C-alpha cells in the first residue's frame, strides 16, 4: 500500500526564517514475515502476536521526495509514524483490514486507519490472523530453514494428511505449539480414538500451552482433524458433533476476522461436509460440496489432491468407474514415499477394478496394498476385498483363503464382528451350493445384522439377498433390507433385491430410486461444469450410471419386464457376490407373492 508520510526538509543555511518545513511524501511497503534468532526489543510484530521471535521486515520505496538541491537536506521520518505504518501493513497482509477498500483510497492516511485498527479487539485480531496465516500458508515468509521446515510440516500433516516425521522444538512459542499440535494429530491417526479420547486429548493439550491465549486456529484444525478421524473410522454421528464444535470456532474466528471469513469457511469445513454426506450415502450432497471446494481450491495442489481422492470414492459408488479410476490412478502417480496414502489408494483402485470386472488387475492392486502394510497392523478389509475379487473370478479356494486371512487380521486389531467378512462367507457358501450354511450364518448373526445402520446396511443387504436365494421363506427380511438400502441412499444396490418382484409390484420403491438417481445426475452435471477434466472422461454406456439406470428403469416399468437391467445387474458390486442369474429366473421359486410387495411402507 501507499502511505502519506510527512518528511521534514532542513534549511540549507542558518538564519533563514524557517529552519525546516514539512514535505508530504509517499511510502510504499512490501512486508515479509521473519524469525529472529534472539528476542529483539525493536520488534514490531513480536509483541503484537505474543511471540517475540517473529518480526516483520518491509522493503521500503519512497515517492514524491524533494528534488535537488533540497533532497540532501531531507530528514528522517517520524519513528512512531513509521512503526504505525509497519503495523498497518502487517494487518493488511494478514487481511485484518479490508484490502479492496483501502486500495481505492491510496495514498492512505496513517493516523486515521491506525485508529480504526486499534478500536476493535486489538491486538487480538493480529494474533489470530497471524496464527491462521501460519497454517494457511498464503503469507510471504522469509526464506529461512526454520520457516521452510514449518511450512513443509503443515503441508505434510494437514494438507496431505500424512505423518509428522520429526517433532521440532523451535524457540518460537507459536511454532513450538504448532508442532505439538501436528504431532498430536499424527498420533491420533495411528490409533482408533473414541470421541471421549479426542476431547480429553484436547483438554490436555490446552493445559500445556504457555501462551496467554491459544489462537483459535489451533481449535479449528484440531476439531476438523478429529472429526475426519471419526469419519474414517465409520462413525459419522460422533463426527458430526465434532464438526459442530469446529463450526462454532470458525464462526467466532470469522466474527473477529470478517475479511478472512471465506478462507476460514472453505478450507477444511467444506471438505468435511462432503465427507459427512458421503458416509451417509448422500452422494448428490457430497458432490455439491466437492464441486464448490474444487472451485475454491484451484491453486492449492495438496488440497486439490484430497478433493480428487474423495471425488473418486463418490463417482465410483455412482457408477462412473472410468472417471474414478483415472482420478485414483493420477493420485497414485503423484504420490511418492507416503505408504499410508498409497496403500489406501491402491485399495480404492482395486475396488474400482472389481466393479469394472477386471479381477486380475484388482487382485494385483489389492495384493500391492496388502504387501505395503505392516504385517502386525494389516487392514482386514484389504484381504476381504481380495477374497471378493477371487470369488467373482470363480476361484472359491482363494476366496476362502483370503477371508481366513482377513479374519486373522481382524483379530489382531480386536475387530470382533465384521459384516463385510460375513457377507463374503455367505456369498461363498451360496455359490458352492451350501444353502444350509447361508441360513446358519444368518441365524448366528441376525440380531447384529438387523442393528446395522448407515453404510453398514450394504453388507446386511447382500446377506439378506443371499438368504432369500437360499430360502425363499425369508422374503420379509429381504423386504426390510430393501427399505433400508433406499433410506441409506444405496440406490443402485437396491435394484438387486428389487428384481425378485415384477416392476408393477415395485412401483413405489422404483419411483423413489428414479427420483434419487435424477438428483445424482444433476449433481454430476454440476460437477462437470466446474471440472472440465472430469467432464472429459467418457463413461461407457453399458455401465450402471444414473443416466443409464434411469433409462433402463423407465423401460422396465413400461414393459413390465426387467430385461433392460439384465446386462447391468451383474455389474452391481458387491450385490453381485450373489449370483445375479438366480435373481432373474422366471420360475415361481424366485417371485414374491403380490401381498408381500403391495405394502405401502415401501
C-alpha cell at 383: 484381504
Average pLDDT for 76-104? 82
CA distances from 152 to 147, 165, 186, 192, 226 (A): 9, 11, 15, 26, 21
By DSSP bridging, strand 2-10 and strand 108-109 are parallel
Strands (DSSP E) found in 183-236: none
Residue 413, C-beta contacts closer than 8 angstroms, at least 6 positions apart: 377, 379, 380
Q: Kindly tell me if the per-residue pLDDT of 71 is higher than 60.
A: no
The residue among 516, 515, 513, 471 whose CA lies nearest residue 602 is: 513
Q: Residues 245-273: pLDDT tens digits?
A: 888 898 899 899 888 877 776 555 556 66
User: What does the DSSP assignment read for 446-483?
Assistant: HHHHHT--GGGHHHHHHHHHHHHHH-GGGHHHHHHHHH
Query: 482-506 as b/e, with b when 16 or more CB fall inside 10 Å?
Result: bbbbbebbbbbbbbbbbbbbbbebb
Q: What residue spans of 335-434 are helical by DSSP H?
A: 339-355, 359-372, 380-393, 396-412, 419-431
Q: What is the pTM of this model?
A: 0.64
Q: Kindly tell me if the per-residue pLDDT of 584 is higher than 70.
A: no
In contact, 566 and 552? CB cutoff 8 Å: no
- How far apart are alpha carbons 455 and 253 in whole angstroms? 34
> How many percent of the chain have pLDDT more than 70?
84
What number of helices (H) and strands (E) belong to the chain?
29, 4
> Residue with C-alpha cell 433406499?
486
In this predicted model, which residue has the larger pLDDT, 353 or 110? 353
- How far apart are alpha carbons 70 and 74 in whole angstroms? 7
**Three-state SS at 114:** helix
Q: pLDDT-based confidence at 583, cuts 50/70/90?
A: low
For Cα atoms 136, 138, 141, give the angle at the middle one, nearest 5 degrees. Answer: 110
Q: pLDDT-based confidence at 435, cuts 50/70/90?
A: very high
- How far apart are alpha carbons 354 and 381 in whole angstroms? 14
Q: Residues 383-397: pLDDT tens digits?
A: 999 999 999 999 999
Q: What is the dihedral of CA 433, 435, 440, 442, to 10 degrees?
A: 100
Q: Kindly tell me if the per-residue pLDDT of 115 is higher than 80.
A: yes
DSSP 184: H
Average pLDDT for 563-571? 91
Average pLDDT for 18-38? 74
Q: pLDDT-based confidence at 13, cuts 50/70/90?
A: low
Q: pLDDT-based confidence at 361, cuts 50/70/90?
A: very high
Half-sphere exposure of 512 (CA within 13 A, CB side): 19
**Phi, psi angle pair for 33, to nearest 5°:** -90, 135
> How many percent of the chain have pLDDT more than 90?
36
Q: Kindly tell me if the per-residue pLDDT of 160 is higher than 90.
A: no
Q: Kindly tell me if the per-residue pLDDT of 156 is higher than 50.
A: yes
pLDDT number for residue 476: 86
C-alpha cell at 164: 509428522
In contact, 3 and 43? CB cutoff 8 Å: no
Domain ranges of the chain: 2-119, 131-260
Cα 107 vs. chain centroid, distance in angstroms?
A: 43
Sheet of strand 54-63: strand arrangement: 54-63, 20-35, 2-10, 108-109
Q: Kindly tell me if the per-residue pLDDT of 9 is higher than 70.
A: no
Amino acid at each position: 500500500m501507499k502511505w502519506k508520510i510527512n518528511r521534514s526538509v532542513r534549511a540549507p543555511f542558518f538564519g533563514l526564517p524557517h529552519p525546516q518545513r514539512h514535505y508530504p511524501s509517499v511510502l510504499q511497503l512490501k512486508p515479509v514475515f521473519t524469525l529472529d534468532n534472539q528476542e529483539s526489543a525493536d520488534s514490531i510484530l513480536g509483541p503484537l502476536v505474543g511471540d517475540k521471535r517473529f518480526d516483520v521486515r518491509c522493503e521500503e520505496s519512497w515517492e514524491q521526495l524533494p528534488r535537488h538541491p533540497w533532497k540532501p537536506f531531507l530528514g528522517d521520518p517520524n519513528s512512531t509514524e513509521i512503526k504505525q505504518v509497519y503495523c498497518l501493513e502487517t494487518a493488511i497482509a494478514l487481511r485484518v483490514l479490508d484490502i479492496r477498500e483501502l486500495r481505492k483510497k491510496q495514498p492512505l492516511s496513517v493516523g486515521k486507519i491506525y485508529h480504526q485498527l486499534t478500536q476493535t479487539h486489538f491486538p487480538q485480531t493480529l494474533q489470530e490472523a497471524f496464527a491462521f496465516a501460519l497454517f494457511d500458508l498464503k503469507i510471504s515468509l522469509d526464506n529461512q530453514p526454520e520457516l521452510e521446515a514449518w511450512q513443509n510440516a503443515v503441508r505434510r500433516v494437514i494438507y496431505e494428511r500424512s505423518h509428522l516425521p520429526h517433532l521440532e522444538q523451535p524457540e518460537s512459542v507459536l511454532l513450538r505449539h504448532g508442532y505439538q499440535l501436528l504431532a498430536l494429530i499424527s498420533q491420533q491417526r495411528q490409533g482408533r480414538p473414541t470421541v471421549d479420547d479426542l476431547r480429553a486429548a484436547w483438554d490436555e493439550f490446552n493445559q500445556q500451552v504457555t501462551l496467554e491465549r491459544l489462537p483459535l486456529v489451533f481449535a479449528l484444525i484440531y476439531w476438523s482433524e478429529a472429526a475426519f478421524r471419526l469419519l474414517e473410522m465409520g462413525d459419522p454421528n460422533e463426527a458430526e458433533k465434532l464438526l459442530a464444535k469446529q463450526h462454532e470456532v470458525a464462526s467466532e474466528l470469522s466474527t473477529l476476522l470478517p475479511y478472512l471469513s471465506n478462507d476460514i469457511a472453505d478450507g477444511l469445513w467444506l471438505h468435511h461436509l462432503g465427507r459427512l454426506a458421503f458416509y451417509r450415502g448422500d452422494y448428490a450432497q457430497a458432490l455439491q460440496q466437492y464441486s464448490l471446494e474444487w472451485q475454491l481450491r484451484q491453486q492449492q495442489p495438496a488440497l486439490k489432491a484430497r478433493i480428487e481422492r474423495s471425488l473418486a470414492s463418490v463417482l465410483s459408488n455412482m457408477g462412473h468407474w472410468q472417471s474414478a479410476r483415472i482420478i485414483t490412478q493420477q493420485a497414485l502417480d503423484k504420490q511418492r514415499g507416503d505408504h499410508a496414502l498409497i496403500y489406501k489408494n491402491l485399495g480404492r483402485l482395486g475396488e474400482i477394478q472389481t466393479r469394472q470386472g477386471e479381477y486380475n488387475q484388482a487382485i494385483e492392486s489389492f495384493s500391492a496394498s496388502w504387501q505395503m502394510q505392516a504385517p502386525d497392523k494389516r487392514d482386514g478389509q484389504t484381504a476381504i476385498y481380495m477374497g471378493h475379487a477371487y470369488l467373482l473370478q470363480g476361484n472359491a479356494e482363494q476366496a476362502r483363503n483370503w477371508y481366513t486371512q482377513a479374519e486373522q487380521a481382524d483379530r489382531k486389531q480386536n475387530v470382533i464382528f465384521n459384516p463385510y467378512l460375513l457377507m463374503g462367507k455367505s456369498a461363498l457358501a451360496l455359490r458352492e451350493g451350501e444353502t444350509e450354511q447361508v441360513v446358519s450364518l444368518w441365524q448366528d448373526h441376525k440380531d447384529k445384522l438387523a442393528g446395522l445402520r448407515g453404510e453398514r446396511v450394504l453388507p446386511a443387504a447382500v446377506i439378506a439377498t443371499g438368504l432369500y436365494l437360499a430360502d425363499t421363506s425369508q422374503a420379509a427380511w429381504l423386504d426390510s433390507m430393501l427399505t433400508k438400502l433406499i433410506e441409506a441412499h444405496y440406490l443402485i444396490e437396491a435394484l438387486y433385491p428389487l428384481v425378485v418382484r415384477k416392476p408393477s409390484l415395485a412401483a413405489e420403491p422404483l419411483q423413489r430410486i428414479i427420483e434419487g438417481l435424477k438428483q445424482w445426475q444433476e449433481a454430476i452435471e454440476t460437477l462437470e461444469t466446474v471440472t472440465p477434466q472430469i467432464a472429459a472422461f467418457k463413461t461407457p454406456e453399458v455401465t450402471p450410471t444414473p443416466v443409464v439406470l434411469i433409462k433402463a428403469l423407465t423401460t422396465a416399468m413400461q414393459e413390465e419386464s426387467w430385461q433392460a437391467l439384465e446386462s447391468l445387474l451383474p455389474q452391481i458390486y458387491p450385490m453381485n457376490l450373489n449370483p445375479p442369474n438366480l435373481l432373474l429366473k422366471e420360475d415361481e421359486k424366485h417371485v414374491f407373492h403380490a401381498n408381500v410387495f403391495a405394502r405401502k411402507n415401501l
